[in-house]
Amino acid sequence: MVDYAILLIALPLFAAFLIPLVAMVNKNWPKYIPILVTAFNSVLSINLLLYLNAHNGTPFIVKIGGFIPPFGINLFIGYLAIILLMLISFVGLMISLYTINTVKDAESRYYMLFILLLMGVTGLVITGDLFNMFVFLEITSISAYSLTAYKRDGLSLEASMKYILIGSLASVFVLIGIGVIYYSTHTLNIADISNHINTVPKYIKMFSLSMLLIGLAIEAELFPVNGWVPDVYQASPTPVTTIFSSIVVKATIYVFFRVLFTVFRADLTVMNFVMGLGVITLLIGEISALKQVNIKRMLAYSSIGQVGLIVIAISSYSSMGVAGGIYQMINHAIFKGILFLGTAYMITSVSGTGKISDLKGIAQKMPISSFIVSFSIIALLGVPPLTGFWAKMMILSSVMSSGHQIIVALILFATVVEAVYYLKFIAVIYDSSEITNSFKSTIKFNKIVPIVLFALTIILFSVVPQFLVKFQDVLLKAANELTNVSSYISIVLGS
Amino acid sequence: MSWVETVYNYSYFVGAFGLIMIGLYAVMVKTNLIKILIGINLIDVGVNIFLVSLGYIKGKGAPIFSNASVTPANSIDPIPQALVLTAIVIGVAVTALSLSVIIKLYQHYKTLDISKIREMRW
Amino acid sequence: MKKIIATLILLVFTFYTYNTIKGFRFGHDFLNAKTNNKKISQKIEPAGKHYLENNKLENNASNVVTSIVVSYRGFDTLGEVTVLFLAATGLGVILTLTKKEDDDENENDSSEGEPSLIVKTASRILFPLIFIFGAYVFIHGHLTPGGGFQGGTIIASAYLMMFLSYSNFKINHSIFKSIESMSGLTFISIGLVGLIGFGIFLKLNLIPMGVFNTLFSAGLIPIVYIIVGFKVGSELTAVVDSYRENW
């Protein structure tokens, strides 16, 4: 059996509690612990993938405490969870490599918060209990609050304060929603709620749906409630920003749709409403990114736009669209990993304040990183043989076939806007004039290696066709796990 | 059923949502960070009361079987109480963290008024 | 303007909530209600009823809320402990001082705000009593209302009293940090013992279950609550101490 899957959460937790003791022995050791933990989690999730492949890809559950599902808490692990787990542990590993000697006077506490943030996200992805999901949401957000304030200057304290106020409102709404849902179904297990949800009167269902929707939309950076995102992204240390953009948002989008699809069995009206939110998020994100001068802020708005695209894809409800959305999640995590880490690496070499104009002509001095950054931008925009193209193709075709031609046009318009500011950025870094700022060469292998590995992943996804065919199969199965409610119920509760 | 009767029958819910409303009003209108934090704490308390009252059953007592007169048949639903315990702990954690951020903000800007703190665009 | 908009939003929210809540039946005995609904594919009793009826058999703790918190939903409690740990850690990160500032402010404060002898003596007498009461609360968590979180908070309040009455009262940070870490590690280790031995994480009936409604009952539940009590007590004390050091 695969009960050891719980180690995905237990081991990071153990490591985080161990760090203070390790730091008392030697101050330099804690910075290697995140690498060990994420590497272990990567191996474990690959192991689970192999297990799943050997068992026809049927998702499995892990019972905690030995109590059978609706009475005890259970984990639910299928292809979708494993894709996200591999993404979390891979990106986490890359970022913990990058973090060594990067964050200014990083102490042991930074690594504790970092590991616990990853642990919270892991829990969000695999848990099968609604209240447990809330607890992991809180673990994720509380570690995010403290990491945002890590630099302790005015900007990061303000961003953190903003994040705390909005985040605690989000948790309150989620809690009210969970309370109402518990009152009307007398259970907290997601499968059991889904089993009972049709007996709940419609207006009570709509009330708790709207409460959970507000709360989770705040965490998932959807349109009316994402004002905190650019500030938080700009103010937090770059490795943390990368985690927010690549992983945390993906996990919260997963939770958002798990709640919509499985808990509430949302109908087409709700899904169309969510798709509308996605479209507005996409447009506002991309258009706001146009006029930004700070790189991190520009990438933050671009990230909001991509969230909109993913939400549009998944809310189309067709298996092709959901698969495309999951594919875009993976792509976006890797692209934003390269962009945030690569540009931060460039900025540390020139003495600037993080403005785009500081990087003028940087390509002459740092050809490899500039090339990789431009390459990932081109892949992100969806130039044909590269991986971004296939994801966008899947999304567009599914939206087209669901009869929303105008949304297809809007997505294409947003892509053009995206192309404008990204190509402008490439033009700046490949500018032929001399660099104005003072440049000091700092070749650090622990910074180049993650960027190169991310780029290799893009190539792997783009050009190995056999891999792609198999991958699409996995994506469709993962999409099915998200949308097929009755199989979810029968796997958790038994038939 | 008239609305007076509803309010009378559901006094716990009225109290809980009353606290939530007061808290939301404070969060939306006040500009002092400490007052906003008090508002958030009021919302937390309101939600906790709401959760506990969801588990109440008329004429039944606490689910602690310390003497023979308490049986499963005359106990209230224990789950909301367990949930509230968790929610309280989380509320404490968030309050502690935000107080520390407020302390640092005050040391940095010498004010608690969010409309005077520089970069914040609310 | 702001006030009007806020009032309008609240009115809409109130109306919406009122319309929903009036469909609830406050105090309704839903645990024993009979439902014959055809829409449900699998009939499962309400979880609350299951816990009340099977608690004695499965956990042997007379306080059902405790057995839910620690045993049935023990994973949540692990998360809760983590949340507090995170708050204490994050607080430490945010409130780290530059040394110079610290010295200036502390010396000014300590000369003026010294409490009177009565306060000092009384709190010295009360400190061990409050401490023992906190320990009592978390040791008897499976028998009476209370438990690790409550007991830990009471212990932290004893320390808060000492901080208030002695302006130069210092705690040994490394000892508190080690208690915090060690208790967290023990909690997870208890979970891992079950995983290694039986393939079940957080299995709490590993040791004899004892006699119902006595101190030595309920398997590992009291032990977990004692660990939680130590952890919460040391964390909240550390939190209070970091605030004190900043002013």
**Is residue A144 scored above 90 in pLDDT?**
yes
Q: What is the pLDDT of residues C97-130, one digit of tens each?
A: 654 444 444 445 544 567 888 999 999 999 999 9
Name the residue type at position C39: K
Instruction: Please say if the pLDDT value at position A337 is more than 60.
Output: yes
Does position A428 have pLDDT exceeding 90, yes or no? no
> In CATH terms, is domain B3-57+74-116 a member of 1.10.287.3510?
yes
B2 vs A389, higher pLDDT: A389
Q: Is residue A60 part of a domain?
A: no
* CA atoms within 13 Å, Cβ hemisphere of B4: 0
pLDDT computed for residue A102 by the predictor = 66
pLDDT band at B122 (very low <50, low <70, confident <90, very high): very low
Query: Once rounded to an integer, what is the mean pLDDT over residues A149-157?
Result: 86
Give the residue, C211 or B29, on which the prediction is more confident. Answer: B29
Band the pLDDT of A318: cuts 50, 70, 90: confident
Are the C-beta atoms of A139 and C79 separated by less than 8 Å?
A: yes
Q: Given CB atoms, is C1 within the 8 Å cutoff of chain A?
A: no
Least confident of A141-155, A317-331, A462-476: A462-476
Phi, psi (5° rounding) for residue C37? -100, 130
Q: Does the global pTM surpass 0.90? A: yes
Q: Give the domain range for residue A414.
A: 267-463
pLDDT at C100: 44
What distance in Å separates the CA atoms of residue C28 and residue A309, rounded to the nearest whole number? 45
- Chain C nearest CA to A164, separation (Å): 12
Identify all chain C residues contacting A70, using CB atoms and an 8 Å cutoff.
Answer: 44, 47
Range with the poorest average pLDDT among A386-395, A435-444, C41-50, C199-208 = A435-444
| DSSP label at residue A71 | G
- Give the pLDDT confidence score for residue C99 in this predicted structure: 47
What digits encode the pLDDT tens for the residues A345-366?
A: 888 777 667 787 777 777 777 8
Measured CA to CA in angstroms, residue A202 lies from A258, A334, B65, C27, C171 at distances of 19, 41, 38, 21, 56
Domain count for chain A: 1
> What would the DSSP string read from start to end of chain C?
-HHHHHHHHHHHHHHHHHHHHTTS-TB---SS-----TT-SS----HHHHHHHHHHHHT--SBHHHIIIIIITHHHHHHHHHHHHHHHHHHHHHTPPPHHHHHHHHHHHHHH-PPPHHHHHHHHHHHHHHHHHHHHHHHTTTTSS--HHHHHHHHHHHHHHHHHH-TT----HHHHHHHHHHHHHHHHHHHHHHHHHHS-TT----S--BSTTSSSBSTTHHHHHHHHHHHHHHHHHHHHHHHHHH-
Please give the residue that has the higher pLDDT: either A87 or B72. A87
For residue A309, which phi and psi values (nearest 5 degrees)? -60, -45
**Is there a domain that residue A447 lies in?**
yes
Q: What is the pLDDT of residue B121?
A: 54
- Residue A121, pLDDT score: 94
- pLDDT bracket for residue B120 (50, 70, 90): low
* A275 falls within a domain: yes
Among B20, B50, B83, beta carbon nearest to A131 = B83
User: For residue A447, is pLDDT > 60?
Assistant: yes
Report the half-sphere exposure of A123 (CA within 13 A, side-chain side): 31
Does the CB of C27 have a partner CB in chain A at under 8 Å? Answer: no
In this prediction, residue A435 has a pLDDT band, given cuts at 50, 70 and 90, of low
When mean pLDDT is compared across A57-66, A100-109, B46-55, C166-175, the lowest value belongs to A100-109
A280 inside domain: yes
Residue with tokens 């609550």: C225
Answer yes or no: do A13 and C51 touch at CB < 8 A: no
Sorted by where each begins, the domain ranges of chain B are 3-57+74-116
Instruction: Check: CB of residue A88 under 8 Å from CB of residue A40.
Output: no
Single-letter code of the amino acid located at A25? V
Residue C94 has its nearest CB partner, among B21, B25, B104, at B104
Q: Average pLDDT for residues B15-35, to the nearest whole number?
A: 91
What is the ipTM metric for this complex?
Answer: 0.92
Low-confidence ranges of chain C (pLDDT < 50): 99-107, 110-111
Nearest to A65 among C46, C90, C202 (CB): C202
Please give the torsion angle defined by the CA atoms of residues A102, A108, A110 and A111, in that order, rounded to the nearest 10 degrees: 90
- pLDDT value for A85: 92
For B112, list phi and psi in degrees, rounded to 5: -110, 0
Phi, psi of A68 (to 5 degrees): -70, 150
pLDDT tens digits for A186-243?
889 999 898 888 888 888 899 999 999 999 999 888 888 888 888 899 888 888 999 9
- The answer to whether A131 contacts C76, with C-beta atoms less than 8 Å apart, is yes
